[in-house]
Structure 1
Amino acid sequence: MSGYSKINDKIISLEEYRGNGMKRKNLEIIVSILFFIALWIGLSFNTGGPIYSDELLYIEIGLNNESAPNYGNRYFHVYLQKLFMAVAPTPLIGIRVYWAFLIALTALMIYWSARIFLKENTAIHGLLAVAIFFSYKFISSYAGVTSVDIAAMLMSTALVFTYLLYQRTEKKWLLYGLGALIFLAFKTKETTLFSNIVLIGFFFDKQGKFAFRNILAYLKSLLIGFLGGIGLFIVLDSIFLGQPFFAISPTTFQEVFQNYAYTGGFRKEPVNWYQIYLLDDIMIPFLIFLIGGIKLSTRQITPQKKIVWAFPLLLVSFITLNMLKIPWGFIERFYFPALPVIAFLAPQFISLKVPSGRKGRLQLVVIILAALMLVVIMRQFGMAYVEQIDWNYGKFLESIYFPILLSVLLGLVILVEKQNLLTFGIVLFCLVSWIMPQISYNYKYIYVEPTTNAKYQIKYHPFLAFQEDIPASNDVKMFTTVTIYQDSEEETRMFSDNPYDILGMYNMLYDLRTQRDNLTLAYHQEDIPPQVLADQYDFIILSIDDWQYLKREFPEILAELEQNYSTQFDEDQSLVFMKPNSSTSN
C-alpha cells in the first residue's frame, strides 16, 4: 500500500505542477496582452503623420475608394488603414493609432515567437527580443508614418508566428489562418512573399526527413485558408470599389508588373546592404542572429525551425538584386519585414535553464539585477570619462564601448558550450548595454525631441498656420504654388510639388474627399498671373517669393487680388494666405 501511495502522490504532484504551469502560462498571456494595449496607447501620442508621397497616396486611395491597379498589391494595407481612419474622430488620429497598432502588435508577436521557438525558452527570451525590436532606429524615424513596409512587417511577422505556433501546437485552424495570411500578406506588399520560405518546413517529417509528399497533409488546409483570403478581398473590393475581382484580376497584376518596368539608369547607385545597414545600424542583433543560427544548428533543432533563419537572408539577397531594377539604391524600409525575425531569433543562442526551487530562482534574480546595475554603473562611468577627456559620449559608445561588448558577446557564444548563471549574466550585461542607448534614442526622438512630428509640422505648415481660416468642403477651390516646396531645404520642405500629395494632406486634416479638380497648382511663377485670376478661389496660399514676384512684375494683378481677397501672413513671414472678402465670396 505504501508503494501505491507514493505513486499516487507523484501523480498528484505532477498534476499540481501541470496546473501551476497552466496558470503561469495564462498569466503570462494576460500580462503580454495588457502590455500590448498599454504600448498601443502610449505609441499613439506625440507621433507625427504621413510625410512621404507613398503614404499620402494610399491615404487618398482609401479615403476616396479609388481603384489603382498599378498599386494592386497594397490594398490590404489600404483597407486596414481605412478602417482606423473611419472609426477615429479624424483621419489623422486614425493614422497615428494605426501606426501604433502596427508596432505594438508586431512587438506582441515577436515576444511570443521568441518565447515558443524552443521548448526550454523563457520569458527572458521574449523580453530581450522585444527590446531588440525597439532598439531599431526606424521606430523613431518613422513614428506616425504608416509606411506600407511597416504593414508588410506586421504581416510577415504574423505569417512566421502562425507557422511557429502550428509547429508548437499542431492545431489545424492555424493552417487555415496561415493560408489566409499568405494571400493577405501578398496583397500588402510583394516583399512579404519571401517570408513564405518557412513553408518549406512542411516538407519535413517529425524525424527531420525531407520528402515532397509530406506537404500533402497540410496542402488542403492551406489552400482553404488561401481561398478564404481571396474571399475576404472579394467582399472588400465589392464594398469599397464595386469591383469584386479587382484583387485577382489579370489586369491588376499586369498593371502591378508594369509599374516596375523601369527603363534603366540609376538615380542613386546600388550599395552593399551588409556594409551600409546590416553590419552598421543593426550590427549586434544581426551578428548574434547569424552566430546563434550556426550554434543552434549543432544542437537538436528541427529543420522546421532552421528554415526561419533563411527569410532575412533571402530578403536581403532580393533587395540587393532589386537595386539593379529599382533606380533609387539603398532604401532602408524595404528590409522592415525581416527585422522582427532577426529580433526574435537573435536571443535564441541563450540556453539558460531556469533553476528549480526558491534558492535557484533567487540566484537568477540576483544575477539579473547585478547585470542591470552594472549596465547603469558603466553608463555613468562612461559619461563621466568622456566629459573628463572632452569627447562625445555617442562616439565613445560607437567607437570603443560597443566593439568591446561585441567581442565579449561573440566570444561567449562561440567558446562556451554550456551556459550557466554567470555566463548568462555577462550576456545580459552586453546585450542590455547595447540595447539601452538605442531605446533611449528612440524615446528621445519620439517624446522629448519628436523628429518625425517636427517634420510633419513643417510639411503641413501651410495648412496648419491658417487652419482656422481654411474652409473645409468637398467643393472647395484652392490655389497654391510649387514655389512653397522649392524654396525650402530638403528636411524643411513644406507642401509638395505633387498635387495629389497636397490633396491628400487636405483630405486627411479635414476628413474630406476632394479630387484633382479642387486644386489649382502653379508649377512656375510665370503661371501664377493667368491662373490666379482664372477662377474665384475659396483660399489661396502663396510663398513670400510669389508675393514679391507679383508685387514687382504684376502690381495690377496683385492690386486686384488685394481688392477681392483679405490677406494675412504666417508668423515667419514666409507664406501669404488669401481668402475672399465677404462682398466677393460666393
Structure 2
Amino acid sequence: MKKNNPHKNIEIILSLLAFIGIWIGLSYNLGGPIYSDELLYIEMGLNNQRVANYGNRYFHVYLQKAFMALAPTPLDGLRVYWAFLIALTALLVYWSARLFLKDNNFIHGLVAVAIFFSYHMISDYAGVTSVDITAMMMTTALLFVYVLYLRTEKKWLVYLLGTLSFLAFKTKETTLFANVVLFGFFFGREGKFAFKNVVPYLKSLVLGFLGGIGLFIILDAAILGKPFFAISPATFREVFQNYAYTGGFRREPVSWYNAYLLNDILIPFLAFVFSGMKLNTKAITPQRKILWAFPLLLVSFITLNMLKIPWGFIERFFFPALPTIAFLAPQGILLNKPADKKATIHMGLVALIALLAVLGMRQFGMAYVENIDWNYGKFLDSVYFPVMLSLAILLLIMADKQTFLTFGFMLFFLVSWLMPQISHNYKYIYVEPTTGMKYETKYYPWLAFKEDIPISNDVEMFTTATIYENSEGETRMLSNNPYDILGMYNMLFDMRINRDNLTLVYHQEDIAEQILAQPYDFILLSVDDWQYLQTNSSKTVAQLKGEYSFQSDADEILVLLTLQDQ
C-alpha cells in the first residue's frame, strides 16, 4: 500500500466515516439481551464475577463491561456495543476484500460489505450481544491483520497477530480455527512449504501472544482481583468440564450444508466456493489460499461437535466465519480497467441499465404476484432467484472472458439478490424490530411496573416461575432461571444485586409459606398465583393485604405487591 496516495487516503477517511455512521445508525436498535447466555455474561461483567467454567468468554465480558460502564445505562451500553461490533466488522470486511489482491478496488470492498449486511443474523440478533458476534469481530480482525501483513510485510503486524490470537481465544473457542492462516508463514515467497520458513516469525508471534496474556493479567487483577484467573489451570479444567455432556441428544444433529450453507447463505457460499476455485487457476500464493480453510474447518468442527453436545444445529456457532465468506466471495470478480474514456462510458451505461432493470423487475414482480394473490418474498425465493442463479452459473461456465454483457448481467443478478436481503434487515431492525418485540415480551413484568418497582442494591424481591411457565411464544416472559432474573434487574436498573436478594418459587403450593418468611420490598406474581392464594390460603392473602400495596398491569396478567412504608 502506497503511503502517499491521496486517493487511498480519501478512501480511508470515507470508510471511517461510513463506520461511524453505521455505528450510530445501528445504535438505535430496540433489541436487548433475551437469552440466558447473554444475561449470564452481563451479570459476570456488572458484578465482577469469577465464573471459571466460562473462563474462555472473558474478553467478551470485559469489552461489554466497558460499554455498559460508559453509557448512561447498561441497556444503552449493550445496544451501542452490538452496533460497534457490527460496524467494526463491516469496516474490516471492506478492507480485507479491498486489500486481498493487488488489483482489487473499492467495488470488491463494497460488494463484500453488501454481502455481510445481507446476512439475516444481523436483524435476528439486533441488540443481542451474543458472544458469537464478538467472536465474529475478533476473527475478522485477526484475518484482516493477516491480509494487511501480506500486503505491507510490516513486522509489528505479526506481533499484533499473536496478541489477537490469544484475545480471540479468550472470547470463544471457535475462534481458534481462524489461526489456520498462521500456517501461511510456512510457505516461502515461491509458494513452497518448509518448516524453516516460519522461524523468522515465531519470536514475534510468541511475544505478541504473551502480550495478550499480559493484558489479561492486568484486566483480571483490576476487575476480578485475581491476576492469573485467565491462565489458571483450574480455569481451564472448569472450561473443559463445562463441555462434558452425557445422556444423548436434546436435538438430533443435522447437516450444516442442508440447514445453513446451501440454504440461508446459499449465494454467498457459492460465490465463496467459486472465487476459491477461480483463483486457484491463477498465480495466487498459498498464503492467500489458506484463508478459504477457516470457514470450512469451522463448519467441520461444529458438525463433529454435535456428537458431543446435545443441542444439535445452532446457527450462531458459525457467525465467526460469516465475514470471511463475505470478503472472499467477491475475489472472483475480475474487473478489467476500461482501456479508454469511451470504454469507461460504455461500462457506466451498462451499469446504469442493469440497475434500472433491477428496479423494473422489482415493480413487475410485485405487480405480478399481487395479480395472482401470492407473496412477493415467496416469489423471489421460489422462482426468481433459482432462475437467476441458474443463468448466472451457466454464464460463468460458458463465458471465456468478461464482456459488457456478462458484467451487466452479473451486476443485475447481484443487486437483485442483495436488495431484498438488506431491506429485510432494515425492516426487522427498525420498522418491525424482531428482537425489540422479543425484548418487550421477555421484560414485560419489569417494563409494566418500571415506575413502581423498588430500585436498590439491598432490595429483597420475591417472584415465581409461573410467570414464565404460563406465557407462550419463542421468548416467554421473565425466566425460571434465578440468574436470568437477577441479570434483567441489574441491567435495567443499573444495580448490583446477587442471588441472596431473590426468592424464586417454582411450585404454587410453596408460595404461601415462603411469601411470609420475611418482608420483601416487592413481590411479583402472576394472576394465577394470586387466585391460587385466594382460593387456598385466605389467611396469607389477608396478611399480605395488611402489609403490601397492590396493583395489576394493564393486561391484568400480573400482580405487583410493594411493601408499605413502616
TM-score by length of 1: 0.95
Cα distance, 1:86 vs. partner?
0.6
1:86 and 2:58 matched: no
Moved more, 44-53 or 353-362: 353-362
Q: How does 1:2-401 map to 2 (within 5 A)?
A: 22-355=5-338, 357-401=340-384
Cα distance, 1:363 vs. partner?
2.9
Q: Give the AA of the match of 1:176.
A: Y
Cα distance, 1:417 vs. partner?
3.4
TM-score by length of 2: 0.98
1:512 and 2:495 matched: yes
Contact 1:538 1:580 in 2 (8 A): yes
C-alpha distance in 2, partners of 1:416/1:197?
34
Gapped regions of structure 1 (runs ≥ 5): 1-17
Q: Structure 1 pair 131/227, CA: closer, same or farther in 2 (3 Å)?
A: same
Moved more, 488-497 or 45-54: 488-497
Q: Structure 1 pair 504/459, CA: closer, same or farther in 2 (3 Å)?
A: same
CA offset digits 1:298-333 (Å, max 9, x no partner): 012111111101111110000000000010000000
Cα distance, 1:490 vs. partner?
3.2
Match among 387, 393, 397 for residue 404 of structure 1: 387
Q: Give the AA of the match of 1:249.
A: S
Cα distance, 1:372 vs. partner?
1.5
SS at match of 2:462: strand
CA offset digits 1:24-55 (Å, max 9, x no partner): 10000000000000000000003310000000
Q: Structure 1 pair 199/417, CA: closer, same or farther in 2 (3 Å)?
A: farther
SS at match of 2:361: helix
Moved more, 217-226 or 18-27: 18-27
Contact 1:352 1:420 in 2 (8 A): no
Contact 2:116 2:322 in 1 (8 A): yes
C-alpha distance in 2, partners of 1:189/1:19?
36
Contact 1:44 1:99 in 2 (8 A): yes
Q: Give the AA of the match of 2:456.
A: S
Contact 1:202 1:215 in 2 (8 A): yes
C-alpha distance in 1, partners of 2:341/2:30?
44
1:477 and 2:460 matched: yes
Contact 1:76 1:188 in 2 (8 A): yes
SS at match of 1:227: helix
SS at match of 2:10: helix
Cα distance, 1:397 vs. partner?
0.7
Q: Structure 1 pair 426/525, CA: closer, same or farther in 2 (3 Å)?
A: same
C-alpha distance in 1, partners of 2:396/2:436?
40
CA offset digits 1:240-298 (Å, max 9, x no partner): 01111111111111100000001130000000110011111000110111122111100
Q: Give the AA of the match of 2:486.
A: L
C-alpha distance in 2, partners of 1:193/1:20?
33
1:447 and 2:430 matched: yes
SS at match of 1:502: helix
Contact 1:288 1:410 in 2 (8 A): no
Contact 1:264 1:325 in 2 (8 A): no
CA offset digits 1:427-460 (Å, max 9, x no partner): 1111111111111111111100011001001111
C-alpha distance in 1, partners of 2:382/2:411?
21
Match among 543, 567, 570 for residue 553 of structure 2: 570
Q: Give the AA of the match of 2:355.
A: L
Contact 1:292 1:413 in 2 (8 A): no
Contact 1:120 1:353 in 2 (8 A): no
Match of 1:500 in 2: 483
Cα distance, 1:416 vs. partner?
2.4
Q: Give the AA of the match of 1:179.
A: G
1:423 and 2:406 matched: yes
Q: Give the AA of the match of 1:409.
A: A
Match of 1:552 in 2: 535
Paired-residue identity, %: 69
Cα distance, 1:373 vs. partner?
1.3
Cα distance, 1:182 vs. partner?
0.4
CA offset digits 1:318-368 (Å, max 9, x no partner): 000000001000000000000000011111111012325443333333222
Q: Structure 1 pair 419/448, CA: closer, same or farther in 2 (3 Å)?
A: same
Cα distance, 1:21 vs. partner?
7.9
C-alpha distance in 2, partners of 1:121/1:84?
35
C-alpha distance in 2, partners of 1:45/1:422?
41
SS at match of 1:577: strand
Moved more, 131-140 or 410-419: 410-419
Contact 2:117 2:422 in 1 (8 A): yes
C-alpha distance in 2, partners of 1:411/1:166?
37
CA RMSD of aligned residues (A): 1.3
C-alpha distance in 1, partners of 2:221/2:346?
60
C-alpha distance in 1, partners of 2:343/2:66?
49
C-alpha distance in 1, partners of 2:25/2:439?
19
SS at match of 2:263: coil
CA offset digits 1:217-239 (Å, max 9, x no partner): 11111111111100000000000
Q: Give the AA of the match of 1:312.
A: P
Q: Give the AA of the match of 1:101.
A: F
Aligned length: 566
CA offset digits 1:138-190 (Å, max 9, x no partner): 10010000000000000010111100000011011111111100000000000
C-alpha distance in 2, partners of 1:197/1:20?
30
Match of 1:15 in 2: none
Match among 463, 474, 485 for residue 491 of structure 1: 474
Contact 2:34 2:475 in 1 (8 A): no
Q: Structure 1 pair 66/407, CA: closer, same or farther in 2 (3 Å)?
A: same
Structure 1 stretches of at least 4 aligned residues deviating more than 4 Å after TM superposition: 18-21
C-alpha distance in 2, partners of 1:264/1:364?
61
